[in-house]
A and B are shown apart, each in its own frame.
Chain A
Amino acid sequence: MEIRVRTDDCTICGVCAQECPFGSISMGEVGPEFDESCTLCGVCVESCPAEAIYMVGEAEKILEERDSSKSRGVWVFAEQRAGHLQGVVLELLNEGKNIATQLGEPLACVLLGDEIEHLSQELIEYGVDQVYLAEAPELKDYRDDLYAQVLEHLVGKYQPTIFLIGGTTNGRSLAPRVATGLRTGLTADCTGFALDEAGNLLQTRPAFGGNLMATIRCPHHRPQMATVRPKVFEAPTRQPGRSGEEIRVELPPLKPWAHILEIVDEESLGPNLGEANVVVAGGRGLGSAEKFRLVEDLARAVGGAVGASRAVVDAGWVSYPHQVGQTGRTVAPKLYIACGISGAIQHLVGMQSAETIVAINRDPDAPIFSVATYGIVGEVEEIIPALIREIKSR
């Protein structure tokens, strides 16, 4: 709370100074002045014959500051790879639209790349009002240096209120670079958003490996920035023929500092872990590298990605990019099938946000069962083939 005076209304009558029980008020040239002994008791507000003294709460103070700033618009970073929008971008558009509608502000995307104009229309048909498009050959593939410089420039120029970035590997490298350059707040890996009464973005994220949720605010800095966990929000439906505005932006002078020598897509077992709807993961309980192939078979049968516990990666049964858990990837698919994984805390923190969890393990006391939606106590090498037969027979 804070005491304010509308000096235009103040008649400098001095009633407030007489009434103040703490003697905190002296009369200045344009109105009352308050010293440190003021307790915000409000007697002066009541006593003022001209109604020139008022109190403001935290929320109103923020709103006043907001009015004086020009920030406007909810932005989403439209990350594209090889001319295709990343899945998380569409998911953000749905959530971004909700927030933008509540704020009465437009939903905009920043789209960087080369020869990607077709994506502008795609974004608009998914609900975007404005697309800021930056095209240049050197922006063709993601790179930290140039992408960060372009985004900082655009945010500085157009001043959005909110800027959301998908929590991909690139997004989580880019966002802190940009937020630091802009000296604003950034919340990592959000899974939920809402607005408070002052219109601040309430950003909820899992903390301590998903065992606690923390809601973060960034009340005094704009834009409010957040990276967002993939697969949390639903993508909106496309509305063919929807119209919006494309704003082709001029690039600032760029200062490259990275030289990309090579981009290699590695042969992976099925879809990318971070973006998969279904993850089938194997642990030490499988017994051997050969038996781990059962996990790959099941993943293929359900169209899922292959995950693994740390023990299995350390044993060399499958490569590190498949590792789920604290020292590997955090995943939150719709369905997670844990085969022969005991469920050490380091593994649980990487997967317990999955919507449905199936645990198959021979040890009925394995901790994995404490987070499972469905549990099967049994031999993985018997259950998986039976499950694959079941899937194929229907």
Chain B
Amino acid sequence: MHIVVCIKQVPDPSQARIDRETGMVIREGVDKITNPFDLYALEEALRLKEAQGGKVTALSMGPPAAAEVLRDAIAMGVDHGVLLSARGFAGADTLATSYTLAQAIRRLADVHLIICGKQAADGDTAQVGPGLAANLDIPHITQVRKIAQITKESLQVERLTDTGYEAIEVNLPAVITVVKEINEPRLPGLRGMMRAKKAEIQVWGPEEIDADETRIGLKGSPTQVWRTFEPEIHRKGEMLTGTPSEQAAALWERLRAL
């Protein structure tokens, strides 16, 4: 079984601090890490490989420095890392990104299952997984919390819904996006880290994946950021003091007035 895990390099959310004066995220000096949700995707792929045999390829798109997250994936136990990196890929929105990843997966060939994290911690769109499946014209299931059964031909999973869960079966190949509940990601071992250091990360550009130039990067992105601004925050920041009963009474008085 060949499993592809799509991962993304993002600014470390645990290092992000909010500037109390401006209410803005402080991004300077923040390390770049593997999107936290993608660790669950990597772990699930490795568990499937351990149970079923086969190989796991980690795929990412980003600047050359994003090769680092592929090395980290190899340290966890992934077999190969492929980085999509070229000037032409820059500025991609989720439509262009999912097309680009899909082209790379076509080139990888004989892929049975594609696993993504539920969303990226920086963009929070959760759009690339379903978009990737649409590009490949294969099934997708979002918010998977459990793989109940898998063969080379089909997959049974539990999908988290707003009110509970659904048990769904699809034929493979398919794309799933996984939630945190699915597993506990492993830490890389020493041997893995040694291997990762020496591993060769393949870097592909538009030619390698036979990409249509009009569908990648900024050109292939229908959405444009028109402007960004700081949110207005109307927090009073009123501290309620006194005995617990007085505090509770003061609070309820204010809440009732809302």
Bound pair (A, B): yes
On whether the beta carbons of A172 and B95 are closer than 8 Å, the reply is: no
On whether the beta carbons of A372 and B130 are closer than 8 Å, the reply is: no
> Taking the complex as formed, is B181 at the interface, i.e. its CB lies under 8 A from any CB of chain A?
yes
On whether the beta carbons of B131 and A265 are closer than 8 Å, the reply is: no
Interface centre among A174, A344, A387 (most CB of B within 10 A): A387
Q: Which of A330, A349, A358 contacts B255 (CB 8 A)?
A: A358
How long is the Cα–Cα vector from A341 to B93 in the complex, in angstroms? 35
> Taking the complex as formed, is A377 at the interface, i.e. its CB lies under 8 A from any CB of chain B?
yes
On whether the beta carbons of A216 and B170 are closer than 8 Å, the reply is: no
On whether the beta carbons of A390 and B252 are closer than 8 Å, the reply is: yes
Q: Which of B124, B221, B238, B239 contacts A377 (CB 8 A)?
A: B239
Give the bracket for the number of chain B residues in contact with chain A.
35 or more
Question: Binary interface profile of B, 214-258, with partner A (CB < 8 Å = 1, else 0)?
Answer: 000000011111111111010111111100110111011011101
On whether the beta carbons of B133 and A177 are closer than 8 Å, the reply is: yes
Looking at the complex, which of A124-132, A205-213, A285-293 is the stretch in contact with chain B?
A205-213
Considering the complex, give the chain B residue whose CB is closest to the CB of A381: B244
Whether A180 touches B140, Cβ cut-off 8 Å, given contacts A189-B125, A346-B14, is: no
Residues of A within 8 A of B230 (CB): 211-213
Interface size on A, residues (CB 8 A): 92
Shortest B188–chain A CB gap in Å is: 20
Residues of B within 8 A of A176 (CB): 94, 98, 125-131, 134
Which A residues, 342 to 394, have Cβ-Cβ distances below 8 Å to chain B? 344-346, 348-349, 356-358, 367, 369-379, 382-383, 386-387, 389-391, 394
> Taking the complex as formed, is A8 at the interface, i.e. its CB lies under 8 A from any CB of chain B?
no
Shortest A391–chain B CB gap in Å is: 6
How long is the Cα–Cα vector from A95 to B74 in the complex, in angstroms? 47
Shortest B130–chain A CB gap in Å is: 4
Shortest A226–chain B CB gap in Å is: 10
On whether the beta carbons of A172 and B225 are closer than 8 Å, the reply is: no
Residues of B within 8 A of A264 (CB): 164-167
On whether the beta carbons of B143 and A181 are closer than 8 Å, the reply is: no
Whether A387 touches B231, Cβ cut-off 8 Å, given contacts A202-B226, A257-B139, is: no
How long is the Cα–Cα vector from A346 to B94 in the complex, in angstroms? 23
> Taking the complex as formed, is B23 at the interface, i.e. its CB lies under 8 A from any CB of chain A?
yes
How long is the Cα–Cα vector from A273 to B169 in the complex, in angstroms? 27
On whether the beta carbons of B25 and A394 are closer than 8 Å, the reply is: no
> Taking the complex as formed, is B28 at the interface, i.e. its CB lies under 8 A from any CB of chain A?
no
On whether the beta carbons of A185 and B223 are closer than 8 Å, the reply is: yes
Considering the complex, give the chain A residue whose CB is closest to the CB of B227: A215
On whether the beta carbons of A216 and B223 are closer than 8 Å, the reply is: yes
How long is the Cα–Cα vector from A258 to B130 in the complex, in angstroms? 14
Shortest A258–chain B CB gap in Å is: 5
Q: Which of A173, A216, A265, A387 contacts B251 (CB 8 A)?
A: A387
On whether the beta carbons of B228 and A207 are closer than 8 Å, the reply is: yes
Shortest A201–chain B CB gap in Å is: 10
Q: Which of A181, A263, A327, A335 contacts B134 (CB 8 A)?
A: A181
On whether the beta carbons of A357 and B235 are closer than 8 Å, the reply is: yes
Which A residues, 310 to 326, have Cβ-Cβ distances below 8 Å to chain B? 320-321, 323, 326
Whether A266 touches B163, Cβ cut-off 8 Å, given contacts A179-B95, A211-B231, A374-B254, is: yes
Whether A374 touches B223, Cβ cut-off 8 Å, given contacts A180-B130, A212-B25, A258-B169, is: no
> Taking the complex as formed, is B147 at the interface, i.e. its CB lies under 8 A from any CB of chain A?
no
Question: Binary interface profile of A, 260-273, with partner B (CB < 8 Å = 1, else 0)?
Answer: 11111110100010
On whether the beta carbons of B244 and A185 are closer than 8 Å, the reply is: no
How long is the Cα–Cα vector from A268 to B145 in the complex, in angstroms? 17
In the A-B complex, the 9 residue pairs with the closest CB atoms: A185-B222, A386-B248, A180-B134, A266-B164, A188-B125, A185-B223, A176-B127, A176-B130, A261-B167
* Known contacts A266-B163, A266-B164, then 10 further A-B pairs from the complex at CB < 8 Å, ordered by chain A residue: A169-B143, A177-B131, A184-B222, A185-B221, A206-B231, A211-B23, A266-B165, A272-B163, A373-B235, A374-B239
12 A-B contact pairs sorted by A residue (CB < 8 Å): A173-B140, A174-B130, A215-B229, A218-B224, A257-B170, A263-B161, A275-B162, A335-B255, A358-B251, A370-B20, A383-B248, A386-B249
